[in-house]
Amino acid sequence: MDPSRRVGPVPKGIVAAGGSDVGREREQNEDAYLCDADRGVFVVADGMGGEAAGEVASALAVEVLGRVLTEDNIARWLSREGNLRSLFLEAIRQANDAVIAGWQARRELFGMGSTVVAAVYRHGRAHVCNLGDSRAYLVRQNRWAQLTRDHSIAAELAETGQITPEEARTHRLRNQLTRSLGQKPLEPYFCEAELQPGDRLVLCSDGLWDMLPDHVIAQIAAAYEAPEMAVRELIDLANDAGGYDNISVIVVKALGDAENLASLAAEPITAVELQLPARGDETGQVGTNEQWSFEEDLPRSSRKTEPGPQKQEEEPG
Ligand code: MN
């Protein structure tokens, strides 16, 4: 889709653009995305499965989330519950049902699945949800943070301290998912973050973050005033780095007046507090309560030089 057609209106407080590219190695693009700045709804899904099944799964994920995350539903959930946790969960459940119904109806689709990362922008906040290893980042000036959690074996090893985050980045099981649509457990991660004027919210599939260091993604997202330019550049850079996988990215930019931006620039920003819902009830597992800090924009370990293994070809262990 033409990114220039995805620019949202100023009154909403954001502009956004999205793009998806097949990359340099794959024959099909199994990613899908929805970039609706008018509604403030953004989704990236990365499908997996044999033949064209991955494409079907990611398309279903985007379609169902787009259908559930209506303006009415978002307004209703926010006024009733103050967050979108249970609405996201309902959307994820319906998307999962659609994926399973899809493979029940068509045998060749059996086993298909999809990651999903979704963000809803309302009243200066980003409400974010993910399942699998598609990510959301928040970029503020020269700092960035990953808002989502990767549901992969490597990420879980890092969370329990068995390997370092640096090791997780190149671990051979970094693409082996522990959660996704079409696979148990159906336990998405939720978080919220305030968006300040000038902030960028980046949603992407692993075809972007596996090819480019996080700080490069952050720098490029913030380097262009127009989100569609940043999207184009990020896709080009991921292809230049090898383009081993499909690449999808959405860049959302929070707008603000010049006075606001100037005062922000004068103040060093050290941390943003996330409000995370309490842990564990029948509606699903969520993240632990914690505060997080922006990671410093430090040099990171090198860009990947070897082709990454494909999700569906790897065995855990
Ligand atoms: Mn991928």
CB atoms within 10 A of CB 63: 16
Tens-digit pLDDT profile for residues 281-314: 323 333 333 333 344 333 333 333 333 344 444 4
% the chain with pLDDT above 70: 77
- How many structural domains are present in the chain? 1
pLDDT at 170: 85
- Ligand 1 centroid from CA 130, angstroms: 14
Q: What is the pTM of this model?
A: 0.80
- Ligand 1 centroid from CA 291, angstroms: 29
Tens-digit pLDDT profile for residues 24-65: 999 999 999 999 999 999 999 999 987 789 999 999 999 999
- Ligand 1 centroid from CA 26, angstroms: 10
Q: Which domain holds residue 273?
A: 3-305
Residue 251: name the closest of 19, 23, 12, 5 by CA: 19
- Ligand 1 centroid from CA 303, angstroms: 17
Q: What is the mean pLDDT of residues 146-162?
A: 90
When pLDDT is cut at 50, 70 and 90, the band that residue 23 belongs to is very high
The secondary element (H helix, E strand) that includes residue 93 is: helix 85-105
Whether 315 maps to a domain, the answer reads: no
Does 185 sit behind a cis peptide bond, omega within 30 degrees of 0 on the bond before it?
A: yes
- Ligand 1 centroid from CA 218, angstroms: 19
Instruction: Give the CATH number for residue 173.
Output: 3.60.40.10
When pLDDT is cut at 50, 70 and 90, the band that residue 169 belongs to is confident
Whether 288 maps to a domain, the answer reads: yes
pLDDT at 305: 34
pLDDT at 298: 32
- Ligand 1 centroid from CA 292, angstroms: 26
pLDDT at 123: 86
Cβ-contact 259, 237 below 8 angstroms = no
pLDDT at 10: 35
- Ligand 1 centroid from CA 175, angstroms: 8
Q: Which residues are CB-contacts of 316 (< 8 A; sequence separation ≥ 6)?
A: 153, 173, 176
Between 283 and 107, residue with greater pLDDT: 107
Q: What is the mean pLDDT of residues 194-223?
A: 93
Q: What is the mean pLDDT of residues 114-118?
A: 98
- Ligand 1 centroid from CA 310, angstroms: 8
- Ligand 1 centroid from CA 307, angstroms: 13
- Ligand 1 centroid from CA 304, angstroms: 15
Is the pLDDT score of 241 beyond 80? yes
Average pLDDT across the chain, whole number? 80
When pLDDT is cut at 50, 70 and 90, the band that residue 272 belongs to is very low
Q: Which residues are CB-contacts of 262 (< 8 A; sequence separation ≥ 6)?
A: none
| 144, 145, 151, 156 alpha-carbon torsion, rounded to 10° | 110
Whether 316 maps to a domain, the answer reads: no
Whether 312 maps to a domain, the answer reads: no
Residues 231 and 205: their CA atoms lie apart, in Å, by 13
- Ligand 1 centroid from CA 247, angstroms: 7
- Ligand 1 centroid from CA 31, angstroms: 7
- Ligand 1 centroid from CA 81, angstroms: 33
pLDDT at 205: 98
Place of tokens 């590219």: 21
DSSP codes of every residue in 95-153: HHHHHHHHHHH-GGGTT-EE-EEEEEEETTEEEEEEESS-EEEEEETTEEEE-S---BH
Between 18 and 305, residue with greater pLDDT: 18
Is the pLDDT score of 156 beyond 60? yes
pLDDT at 251: 98
Which 3 state secondary structure label does DSSP give 312?
helix
- Ligand 1 centroid from CA 133, angstroms: 8
Whether 210 maps to a domain, the answer reads: yes
Minimum mean pLDDT range among 21-25, 117-121, 151-155? 151-155
When pLDDT is cut at 50, 70 and 90, the band that residue 12 belongs to is low
Tens-digit pLDDT profile for residues 68-99: 999 999 999 999 998 999 999 999 999 999 99
pLDDT at 280: 30
- Ligand 1 centroid from CA 78, angstroms: 32
SS3 string, 60-78, reads HHHHHHHHHCCHHHHHHHH
- Ligand 1 centroid from CA 246, angstroms: 6
